[in-house]
Chain A
Amino acid sequence: MSCLIVQSDKTLLLEVDHEQADACRRAIAPFAELERAPEHIHTYRLTPLGLWNARAAGHDAEQVVDALVQYSRYPVPHALLVDIAETMDRYGRLTLSKDPAHGLVLTTTDRPVLEEILRSKRVAPLVGARIDPDTVVVHPSERGQIKQTLLKLGWPAEDLAGYVDGEAHAIELDEDGWALRPYQKQAVENFWHGGSGVVVLPCGAGKTLVGAGAMAQAKSTTLILVTNTVSARQWKHELVKRTSLTEEEIGEYSGTRKEIRPVTIATYQVLTTRRKGVYPHLELFDSRDWGLILYDEVHLLPAPVFKFTADLQARRRLGLTATLVREDGRESDVFSLIGPKRFDAPWKEIEAQGYIAPADCVEVRVNLTDSERLAYATAEAEEKYRFCATTATKRKVTEAIVRRFAGQQILVIGQYIDQLDELGEHLNAPVIKGETSNAQREKLFDAFREGEISVLVVSKVANFSIDLPEATVAIQVSGTFGSRQEEAQRLGRVLRPKADGHQAHFYSVVARDTLDQDFAAHRQRFLAEQGYAYRIMDADELLTEGA
């Protein structure tokens, strides 16, 4: 009996407790996307993107078919094998390359394919003269566009046109008392070898260091795009600490500061600011001859940035993310514009290696009081979630949890400011929200880091990239509806390895029999699929325990 079951809907079920599971996982990981990783059976999915990713990484259809046939417990449906071969065969029929005489050209090994795509209305404006039956000139400015379009047409082009080196700038890793972890090294190596692409690592697994490693490889001026200012500061802090770069070499390009330096960290927000229909900060992309562009949290990449990215295809691009799941489903744009996935490590595996802290996830279910139930039942549809998410019982439960973990660093995370203010008051803890100034935020973060404050109440401003190394307990009282990636990010807050090896705790307080519970189920899905089993507790249980 083998460990893999190939389903006709193109999912692969891997029995993880099987002795061959490891070998099988290694064999199928290059071409199958891990979709769910609960405790016994992991689900992988075969998608065209996944198969093309594999082609981009140099695997061929035969390897894929062999892997499936070798490990499959039941005979693999013939149609599936045929489909795999056909799909994979579509990649690389078209290649983008540099021609010494004509510049950027699209060549094909299969003339009818070229004919087919040239007939497409969407391709026509992107290409120039036909040089010979198999080659057509592509306007260099349309390199990204044509890749996007071809992918949509189902004929993804392999981009071999290479990259500009960019302006050289010496960057070295400063490996003093630490070293890149093996998987980080592997990620940097895979990325560099592939040219451009995305590295998928769980929160807390050191994505920043992968970025730093890539910069040290490129040794050129670098533009780093991050989600917000706090995150920008943290990147800067980390880079100064981990590399030969100094404060002066790193610029911040945000709402408040507009510095352009050899390494510039810009926020998505400032780039996508629009005044009178134009993006005034776009010149940043052209302000220097960047050799590397880093995208932090690729899954959040706003749509306009995709558009700019399409014009930057001659520069190396590295995307960093914890998940390729996008709530807007633009995974294919990530594939065509930033690049194929170059490295991926399952969350649990890195946890097993001890690089991220194990976490205990608990869903606490609270009951609404009778009057709250009536209020909830009669509330307008758009108000319903707010009603149930801010029930007073949650406060009591939160207090009980805080009491239980007294002395540990605790984060209380929520969506509604009123609720947070009230919690802050009752817990006697400072509240960080949108209106808190950046200086104040950093002061509070520092105090929390130093252990001067042990409980911090934060709104969704803290969703991304803040580094709170000693937070061991997170209590989520409300969230942005059913956002799965928000849940993952929040869990990420407590997953950084703890100095004392403490177990991390993640509590999600949820109102029973309401929308809140439905949203929570949706949010938890990603984590449950990553193998984080939620325990469910009754509020009463917790309250009596605490009493």
Chain B
Amino acid sequence: MSTADQQAPRSLAEALRARDDASLAALLRARPDLITPVPTDLTQLATRAGTRASVVRALERLDAFALQTAEALAVAGDPATWDELLALMAGDARDPAVASALPGALTALREQALVWGADDRLRLVRTARELLAPSPQHPSPTGLGPSVREATAGMSPGRIQEFVANAGLPSTHDSVSAVSALSSLFSRRRKMAALLAQAPAGSLDVLERLVWGPPYGQVTAEPAAHLRWLLDRGLLLPTAPGTVVLPREVALHLRAGRAHRWPEPTPPAVQPLVTHRPQVVDATAAGQAYTALTTVEELLKEWDEGGPAVLRAGGLSLRDLKRTAVALDVSEPVAAFWVELAYAAGLLASDGEADERYAATPEYDDWLERPPAERWGQLAEAWLAATRTPGVVGGRDLKERALSALGPGLDRSAAPEVRRRVLTLLAGLPEGAVPDAEAVLARLRWEHPLRGPQPQGAAGPQGSPPAPGAHGPYGSHGSHGSRGDEDLRSRLARWTLTEAELLGVTGRGALSAHGRALLGAGAAAAARPAAGDPAPAGPGDRLPAHHRFVAPAATAPLAAPEQAVATAAAARLLAPLLPEPLDHVLLQADLTAVAPGPLRRPLADVLSVLADVESKGGATVYRFTPGSVRRALDAGRSASDLHAFLAEHSRTPVPQPLAYLIDDVARRHGHLRVGAASAYVRCDDESVLNEILADKRAGALRLRRLAPTVLAAQADPATLLDGLRAMGFAPAAESAEGDVLITRAHAHRTPPRTAPEPVPDGPPVPDGTLLTAAIRAIRAGDLAATAPRKPAEDAAPLGPGQLPRTSSAETLATMQAAVLTGEALWIGYVNAEGAASQRVIAPVRVEGGFVTAYDHTADEVRTYPLHRITGVAELADD
């Protein structure tokens, strides 16, 4: 490599510039957000890679150990050396497991452009450092506190000299050297041990309590002697009245150098819990796959004649879901799964009519025609790729709106990836092996740990900082819609395990052969831990062309053609396992028919009309009732058809009671006839009616003779009367009761109506409170608009009502300066709705893209996202 002897890079951009194409490609693959839109040059790429949003995203995608490594770098010096990092990660004891995994993790961080620089000058990207370094607002998962230097910033030099003296160090002439003397003392194991050996009883217990974090503790105004001793030597440093912190160096000494209590260098193994015979697994899965097909068919058949209505907000009402669950004889969450599956597979959709309903799509009819294995393949493929997650149905979204099946808000972008990952983990096990669900979850958590305090480190003493703006500080998808105490990924993984079982991808908890095939050829290989891969030796800044860290390929969905091949392979494996449809049933004298297996479709269709289904599963039990037989007769079959049908398809003689039932119902079927007519003509004289029927002019009236003395007409009574009059008859209209109707003019009236309310002129007079509030708002706005301000150096003077405009860098700098000086600023601000306003604020803190400030306009402390601030101007001093 030609770059080996080049100078050490001085910035991330330079570091990137030194990387080869493959390595850059790996970076962009891992962080695709960096190329949307495509950056113009590497400097821009580096800038973008350092933006908060992108870094957060990258950090969230790290595995537990890489994240721990990044966290360790955040508490190490900047730049840090390899040895420093190794000490933090592996501790003084140099844990060999950690030491051997560390180069890999570092490579991963480098590849992701989160760390750059050679081994002697490892630099964590500044944004990442800000995110991961401990601060009172964001306690670090390491549980470490600020370093001595940070914690003593702002302390009086006299105080610092006291610490130095008390710790037994020679006094120095300035605070800076005093602080460094103190921190180097704390960092020296032997000297520190000697110092602590002198500690009075109880002191060490206090340190012990704080050592693994949170590092903050409360002290009273008059601390006890053992606390005093610690405070005197700077082993505990005051942060605020009544609060002390354990400096990082002391904590590291007590932790034997380790930044993490439990470093997790290796992913938790997913081991088989029990192992079934692969044949049993495949058979069970195939059985379930068949059930999946029948369930979807049944669902859509249920909705065949007008499915449930679409809610106005979209989705299926809870009542309809319940009804569907009852019809399918499953629980509601499972019903939601089937409905969503059919939707994802394109088999059902809203019909888009004015009175919107769900119905099967034309695709469904095509689907029905395919062989069962292919139909399953289509469902499984749709399931694997879907981002819609039926599991959240029944929960509520962030705005407390209920999430309904088929409704909006069900998409979870992590779903396909988690699904595939869970399945690949299963695929990594021997055939027929069932893993412990908890182990799978632990593995997934390792691969994508939730950023935030470690579970064992209780919430920081200050509590969590007020969340600025609407979204959480990391804008993570993790909290979206999650109401349980489990994070979304874990819940997705649990759902995946359940759904895979329902769909027949797994059988009795183990991945079936067809399930394996569905994942594609590479899945099994990718699932095995990359332990076999040699860890890159000598982690230089350049990456070897072989990149170990590419998020396991199997979690990335296959491209469409590859998936189609995999699905077809799965269907081929499944096909022989599916039961062969039968062409016969067993009829019994208790008026039931049992189909001892799936039936051929025409047979099943007829039978489901002729009889009610009583029990489903491998077999189907039908019961004949008068109602069901009538249904068959209504469908246009005759009694003899039915007899012939039963005789043809029954393995056993048709029982006499059944034959009797059919005949009995058929005998009465159609005895009464019902039709619609809109008017009738009645006459005691049959010859008059004959005459009317014979008259050509009566054709338009569409008359039909019902009885010798009655004609039914399709024309309405008025037309009929006119028509008959035109033919020279003198008909009289008849009321519903049969009386002759007498027509006479009558007055037209509206239904009951109330008199209109008077509309007063202008709005009502406002009350006192409203007036006061309004005046205050007007005055505050006035102040913001008219406050004399220093003219910006190069900007044209602003007209009244115009927002100040400055570049974001300038805005930030001005803000930071204002925090130090405590000055009030005049800003232009665009709120979430896009409305611009001017405010006068006194910034208190600038951090993580947010300004916390006292807002003079609103008279309270508020937090503003920096990107919403159009510009800033200083107020004129007066």
Residues of B within 8 A of A9 (CB): 329, 615-617
Bound Cα distance A455, B618 (Å): 51
Selected contact of A13 from candidates B284, B291, B621, B655, CB within 8 Å: B621
Report the nearest A residue to B661, measured CB to CB: A536
Bound Cα distance A347, B596 (Å): 24
Residues of B within 8 A of A36 (CB): 590, 592
Whether A38 contacts B589 in the complex (CB less than 8 A), given A533-B655, A535-B656, A536-B656, comes out as yes
Q: Is the CB of A77 within 8 A of B617?
A: yes
Bound Cα distance A77, B283 (Å): 10
CB within 8 Å of B: which of A514-547?
525, 528-529, 533-536
Selected contact of B588 from candidates A7, A39, A363, CB within 8 Å: A39
Q: Is the CB of B668 within 8 A of A38?
A: no
Is B507 an interface residue when CB atoms closer than 8 A count as contact? Answer: yes
Residues of B within 8 A of A74 (CB): 287, 579, 597, 617-619
Q: Is the CB of B588 within 8 A of A77?
A: no
Residues of B within 8 A of A73 (CB): 596-597, 618
Interface range on chain A (Cβ under 8 Å from partner): 20 to 34
Q: Is the CB of A75 within 8 A of B287?
A: yes
Residues of A within 8 A of B592 (CB): 36, 38
Selected contact of A75 from candidates B507, B509, B589, B590, CB within 8 Å: B507
Is B378 an interface residue when CB atoms closer than 8 A count as contact? Answer: no
Bound Cα distance A512, B668 (Å): 12
Q: Is the CB of A78 within 8 A of B579?
A: no
Q: Is the CB of B618 within 8 A of A5?
A: yes
Q: Is the CB of A78 within 8 A of B589?
A: no
Report the nearest B residue to A528, measured CB to CB: B590
Residues of B within 8 A of A79 (CB): 501
Q: Is the CB of B619 within 8 A of A5?
A: yes
Bound Cα distance A81, B501 (Å): 13
Is B652 an interface residue when CB atoms closer than 8 A count as contact? Answer: yes
Residues of A within 8 A of B618 (CB): 5-7, 72-74
Residues of B within 8 A of A7 (CB): 615-619, 621
Is B253 an interface residue when CB atoms closer than 8 A count as contact? Answer: no
Report the nearest A residue to B589, measured CB to CB: A533
Q: Residue-by-residue, is A51-79 near B (CB-CB < 8 Å gives 1, otherwise 0)?
A: 00000000000000000010011111111
Selected contact of A77 from candidates B291, B579, B615, CB within 8 Å: B291
CB within 8 Å of B: which of A1-50?
5-9, 11, 13, 15, 36, 38-41, 43
Bound Cα distance A41, B621 (Å): 10
Residues of A within 8 A of B286 (CB): 75
Is B262 an interface residue when CB atoms closer than 8 A count as contact? Answer: no
Is A331 an interface residue when CB atoms closer than 8 A count as contact? Answer: no
Whether A75 contacts B284 in the complex (CB less than 8 A), given A9-B615, A536-B656, comes out as yes
Residues of B within 8 A of A8 (CB): 291, 329, 616-617
Is A452 an interface residue when CB atoms closer than 8 A count as contact? Answer: no
Of B589, B594, B596, chain A has the most CB atoms within 10 Å of the CB of B589
Q: Is the CB of B596 within 8 A of A534?
A: no
Q: Residue-by-residue, is A124-137 near B (CB-CB < 8 Å gives 1, otherwise 0)?
A: 00000000000000
Q: Residue-by-residue, is A258-301 near B (CB-CB < 8 Å gives 1, otherwise 0)?
A: 00000000000000000000000000000000000000000000
Residues of B within 8 A of A40 (CB): 586, 588, 594, 652
Residues of A within 8 A of B616 (CB): 7-9
Bound Cα distance A536, B658 (Å): 10
Q: Is the CB of A13 within 8 A of B596?
A: yes
Residues of A within 8 A of B329 (CB): 8-9
Whether A78 contacts B617 in the complex (CB less than 8 A), given A13-B596, A39-B588, A535-B656, comes out as no
Bound Cα distance A513, B291 (Å): 40
Residues of A within 8 A of B287 (CB): 74-77
Q: Is the CB of B596 within 8 A of A78?
A: no
Residues of B within 8 A of A528 (CB): 589-591, 657
Report the nearest A residue to B504, measured CB to CB: A75
Bound Cα distance A536, B659 (Å): 10
Residues of B within 8 A of A536 (CB): 656-657, 660
Residues of A within 8 A of B652 (CB): 39-40
Q: Is the CB of A78 within 8 A of B619?
A: no
Is B389 an interface residue when CB atoms closer than 8 A count as contact? Answer: no
Is B61 an interface residue when CB atoms closer than 8 A count as contact? Answer: no
Bound Cα distance A43, B283 (Å): 24
Task: Say how far B778's CB is from chain A's closest CB, in angstroms.
Answer: 61
Task: Say how far B44's CB is from chain A's closest CB, in angstroms.
Answer: 54
Q: Is the CB of B668 within 8 A of A513?
A: yes
Bound Cα distance A38, B579 (Å): 26
Is B817 an interface residue when CB atoms closer than 8 A count as contact? Answer: no
Selected contact of A41 from candidates B291, B588, B617, CB within 8 Å: B588
Is B839 an interface residue when CB atoms closer than 8 A count as contact? Answer: no
Is B280 an interface residue when CB atoms closer than 8 A count as contact? Answer: yes
Bound Cα distance A492, B318 (Å): 50
Is B123 an interface residue when CB atoms closer than 8 A count as contact? Answer: no
Bound Cα distance A528, B285 (Å): 36
Q: Is the CB of B590 within 8 A of A38?
A: yes
Residues of A within 8 A of B509 (CB): 78
Bound Cα distance A75, B655 (Å): 31
Is B404 an interface residue when CB atoms closer than 8 A count as contact? Answer: no
Bound Cα distance A5, B591 (Å): 19
Q: Residue-by-residue, is B578-617 near A (CB-CB < 8 Å gives 1, otherwise 0)?
A: 0100000010111110101100000000000000000111
Bound Cα distance A243, B490 (Å): 70
Q: Residue-by-residue, is B279-315 near A (CB-CB < 8 Å gives 1, otherwise 0)?
A: 0100111111001000000000000000000000000
Bound Cα distance A69, B287 (Å): 13
Bound Cα distance A535, B501 (Å): 46
Q: Is the CB of A5 within 8 A of B617?
A: yes
Task: Say how far B250's CB is from chain A's closest CB, in angstroms.
Answer: 43
Is B508 an interface residue when CB atoms closer than 8 A count as contact? Answer: yes
Bound Cα distance A509, B588 (Å): 22
Bound Cα distance A193, B480 (Å): 59
Bound Cα distance A69, B579 (Å): 17
Residues of A within 8 A of B285 (CB): 75
Of B586, B588, B621, chain A has the most CB atoms within 10 Å of the CB of B588
Residues of A within 8 A of B660 (CB): 536
Task: Say how far A51's CB is from chain B's closest CB, in angstroms.
Answer: 18
Q: Residue-by-residue, is B628-660 near A (CB-CB < 8 Å gives 1, otherwise 0)?
A: 000000000000000000000000100111001
Task: Say how far B293's CB is from chain A's closest CB, in angstroms.
Answer: 14
Residues of A within 8 A of B284 (CB): 75-78
Q: Is the CB of A529 within 8 A of B590?
A: yes
Residues of A within 8 A of B655 (CB): 39, 533
Residues of B within 8 A of A76 (CB): 284, 287
CB within 8 Å of B: which of A72-125?
72-79, 81
Report the nearest B residue to A69, measured CB to CB: B280
Bound Cα distance A77, B616 (Å): 12
Residues of A within 8 A of B619 (CB): 5, 7, 13, 74
Bound Cα distance A111, B383 (Å): 41
Task: Say how far B296's CB is from chain A's closest CB, in angstroms.
Answer: 15
Report the nearest B residue to A536, measured CB to CB: B660
Residues of A within 8 A of B664 (CB): 512-513
Task: Say how far A471's CB is from chain B's closest CB, in angstroms.
Answer: 24
Cβ-closest 6 pairs across A and B: A7-B617, A74-B618, A533-B589, A75-B287, A528-B590, A38-B588
Starting from the known contacts A512-B664, A533-B589, 20 additional A-B residue pairs (CB-CB under 8 Å) come to A5-B618, A7-B618, A8-B291, A8-B329, A9-B616, A13-B619, A13-B621, A15-B596, A39-B652, A39-B655, A43-B615, A74-B287, A74-B579, A76-B284, A78-B288, A79-B501, A528-B589, A528-B590, A533-B590, A533-B656
21 CB contacts below 8 A, A to B, read: A5-B597, A6-B617, A6-B618, A7-B618, A7-B621, A11-B621, A13-B594, A15-B586, A38-B592, A39-B588, A39-B589, A40-B594, A40-B652, A69-B280, A74-B287, A75-B287, A78-B288, A78-B507, A533-B656, A534-B657, A536-B657
Query: Which chain B residues have a beta carbon within 8 Å of chain A's beta carbons?
Result: 280, 283-288, 291, 329, 501, 507-509, 579, 586, 588-592, 594, 596-597, 615-619, 621, 652, 655-657, 660, 664, 668
Query: Which chain A residues have a beta carbon within 8 Å of chain B's beta carbons?
Result: 5-9, 11, 13, 15, 36, 38-41, 43, 69, 72-79, 81, 363, 512-513, 525, 528-529, 533-536
